[in-house]
Amino acid sequence: MSYGLVGEKLGHSYSKTIHEALGRYDYQLFEVAREDFDSFIIRRNFRGLNITIPYKQQVMPLLDEICPKAKAIGAVNTVVNQNGKLFGYNTDFDGMKALIHGVGLDLRGKDVLILGSGGTAKTAKAVADSLGAYSVTIVSRTVKTGAITYEQAASDYRRSQIIINTTPMGMFPNLGQSPIDLAPFNWLEGVVDAIYNPLRTPLVLSAQERNAKASGGLLMLVAQAVKAAELFLGEPMDEKLITRIHQELLNQKENIVLIGMPGSGKSTVGRMIRDAMGRPFVDVDGYIKQKAGMEISDIFRTQGEEGFRRLEFEAVKELSLRSGLIIATGGGTVLRDENVLSLKQSGRLYFLNRPPQNIVPTRDRPLADTKEKIMNLYKQRAPVYWAAADVVIHQQNGFQSAAQTIIDRISS
């Protein structure tokens, strides 16, 4: 073998996609159990490796030489085999630094909280120190020297302006979890999360709701990979590659989520985007019908709206675990906050704002089967759609125009 990523569980990893986008070498994923890790490294049957959870510290005693930066941090995420000798590096430092700058945060003179105490936390502390942070405090769920508890963070460090998450809380497939409640942090300016799958964790979304600058770790992943490639190949890479690959990967992985009134054309527009882009399309109502084995109208008749909403919640949760989809939601899907949270973690929400007078009532939509119901429903729901939407598409020129507008936004 030549190059690859070593970790315990890699089902969520985007590293292969990134390295192959560089087009310079073959790159594989290697899931290795903890008891087998040492022997895997000792065999030295590779030219270069990236190291991820939980091996960034375990690998260090197995190396011949470690660069000063990685040694000072106490974690290695890149190993290069040079004529049988193993050299360790830390390109996570470069990735974390790129992420902080990409979010637009200035750490000079700021109080920084770092959630977690593993290898990535050590890297984050080194980066924060290098960027001139006034104080850097590690927050841990277990008692560790030099760390505080989450309870202490919420009570005694509530004036912290920057929070960096290095824990796996909220990472695929355990979506919906957050390591800390941001409510006490009234001075918060920004949050960066090393998690990249999903694209936006609940922690990131919570920060954005509070008008703080926030981002998931996709840019960090790309930047550290490009730096690792420089070490693999022994030559500098064009810095523009980081921006290009990051945007391409974001466009590829982010779900296109269509929201709006019943009859606003979500399914029609979704299929048009599918045909143009070749991406998988899922209609939430169709997904529910398939799983329930009955029509939506029959679900309402036998289980009521409450029963339907339970099925819808489960469907949204399942679909949100996937990436690269076009998802047409039901008219009432975003009425439930939990659904919006699930959809936003790996998706961008497009509100198809079709004038209600142009929506045709149909018998298979129990809540919109008359003109009067449609007009009343629009008055009730329009503010919810506007609040949930990342992008509003005003449907004045038909479905094809709406589909093309979305395609152009993604492709630009």
Active site residues: 56
What is the distance between the alpha carbons of residues 133 and 267, in angstroms, rounded to a whole number? 49
What is the distance between the alpha carbons of residues 232 and 170, in angstroms, rounded to a whole number? 31
Element (H, E) at 392: strand 391-394
Which pair of tokens denotes residue 345?
């973690």
What is the distance between the alpha carbons of residues 160 and 188, in angstroms, rounded to a whole number? 6
On whether the CB atoms of residues 217 and 197 are closer than 8 A, the answer is no
Is residue 109 helix, strand or coil?
Answer: coil
Angle at 18 between CA 12 and CA 20, to 5 degrees: 115
List the 391-394 sheet strands across, edge first.
281-283, 326-328, 255-259, 347-353, 391-394
CA dihedral in degrees (8, 14, 16, 21; nearest 10)?
A: -160
HSE value, Cβ hemisphere, 13 Å, CA-based, for 170: 30
Contacts of 11 (CB under 8 A, 6+ apart): 172, 173
DSSP 335: G
CB atoms near residue 250 (< 10 Å): 17
Largest CA distance in the chain: 77
Q: 3-7 and 27-31 as β-strands: parallel, antiparallel, unpaired?
A: parallel
CB atoms near residue 186 (< 10 Å): 9
HSE value, Cβ hemisphere, 13 Å, CA-based, for 321: 11
What sign does the dihedral 46-51-55-57 (CA atoms) show?
Answer: positive
Which pair of tokens denotes residue 52?
């991820």
Amino acid at 392: V
What is the distance between the alpha carbons of residues 205 and 165, in angstroms, rounded to a whole number? 13
Tell me the CA distances in angstroms from 158 to 133, 185, 203, one per residue in order. 16, 5, 16
